[in-house]
């Protein structure tokens, strides 16, 4: 007996069913990938790249050992994803902070606010991310060095260039690179030293609207640092001696 041809309604149902199946598979794949990154971040942070094994990561994540190869290619790819994801999530919030048309306070706020905001999130994964990045700060791996060159160095150059414009220079010198370090370090300290800061003065982090209040102060501090640098670079006034001035008596 020959099969009846599909009616238009039957075809639409089949198409919708296929689309739902593909969407479900995509969502499951994305969830598996995210779970691998979270588990790997925690294990890499505790044991380092060399000490962590793909078998332990997959067993802890509850996935097949082949999942790392499927989603990331290899252990290096998984480690790169664990490092890169949080960096891109933060830097995506910076926007066009190097736009010459915007005031300095607005530009530096676009950088500082995301850094402080992520530092104050009460989230275990973010804490593991901070631990992993601290490990890399002490002993940078080749993968981290590559990420810095590709993702972070261009942003630093943009900030240094912004400071140069405000100081009337065509390009940043060593002192302006140092100034850029200082401004970012103020916000980074809330990421790397959050628990230490809680021991010293918990009221700073626990007060209402802590993030906004901290960022407001850091923006003011940055503006003061820039103003100081501008004053440092002003030429010293030269003393003019009147032509008709009498020489001092001997």
C-alpha–C-alpha distance, residues 151 and 160, integer Å: 15
Alpha helices in 148-209 (DSSP H): 153-166, 174-192, 194-200, 202-206
pLDDT given for residue 58 in this prediction: 97
Q: Which domains, and CATH codes, for the chain? A: 24-82 (1.10.10.60), 85-232 (1.10.357.10)
Alpha helices in the chain (DSSP H): 8-51, 54-61, 66-72, 75-91, 104-119, 124-138, 142-147, 153-166, 174-192, 194-200, 202-206, 210-232
Question: What integer is the mean pLDDT of 237-245?
Answer: 60
Predicted confidence (pLDDT) per residue in 44-69, tens digit: 999 999 999 999 999 999 999 999 99
Burial class (CB in 10 A: 0-12, 13-18, 19+), 159: buried
List CB contacts of 182: < 8 A, sequence separation 6 or more. Answer: 225
Are 111 and 188 in contact by the 8 Å Cβ rule? The answer is: no
Are 65 and 132 in contact by the 8 Å Cβ rule? The answer is: no
Of 158, 170, 175, 160, the closest CA to residue 231 belongs to 175
C-alpha–C-alpha distance, residues 205 and 79, integer Å: 31
Predicted confidence (pLDDT) per residue in 100-157, tens digit: 999 999 999 999 999 999 888 878 898 899 999 999 999 999 999 999 999 999 999 9
Percent of the chain at pLDDT > 90 equals 74
Predicted confidence (pLDDT) per residue in 6-32, tens digit: 444 555 655 555 545 455 555 778 999
Predicted confidence (pLDDT) per residue in 167-200, tens digit: 999 999 999 999 999 999 999 999 888 889 999 9
């Amino acid at each position: 007996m020959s099969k009846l041809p599909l009616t238009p309604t039957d075809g639409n149902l089949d198409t919708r069913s296929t689309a739902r199946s593909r969407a479900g598979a995509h969502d499951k794949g994305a969830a598996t990938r995210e779970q691998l990154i979270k588990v790997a971040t925690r294990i890499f942070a505790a044991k380092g790249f060399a000490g962590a094994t793909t078998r332990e990561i997959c067993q802890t994540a509850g996935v097949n050992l082949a999942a790392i190869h499927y989603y990331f290619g290899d252990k290096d790819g998984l480690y790169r994803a664990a490092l890169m994801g949080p960096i891109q999530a933060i830097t995506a919030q910076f926007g066009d902070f190097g736009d010459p048309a915007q005031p300095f306070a607005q530009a530096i706020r676009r950088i500082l606010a995301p850094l402080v905001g992520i530092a104050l999130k009460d989230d275990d994964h973010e804490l593991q991310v901070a631990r992993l990045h601290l490990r890399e700060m002490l002993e940078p791996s080749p993968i981290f060095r590559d990420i810095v060159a590709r993702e972070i160095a261009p942003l630093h150059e943009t900030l240094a260039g912004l400071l140069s414009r405000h100081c009337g220079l065509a390009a940043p010198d060593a002192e302006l690179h140092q100034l850029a370090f200082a401004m970012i370090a103020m916000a980074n300290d809330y990421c790397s030293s959050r628990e230490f800061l809680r021991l010293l003065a918990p009221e700073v982090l626990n007060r209402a609207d802590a993030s906004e209040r901290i960022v407001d102060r850091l923006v003011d501090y940055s503006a003061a640092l820039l103003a100081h640098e501008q004053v440092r670079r002003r030429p010293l006034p030269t003393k003019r001696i009147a032509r008709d001035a009498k020489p001092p008596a001997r």
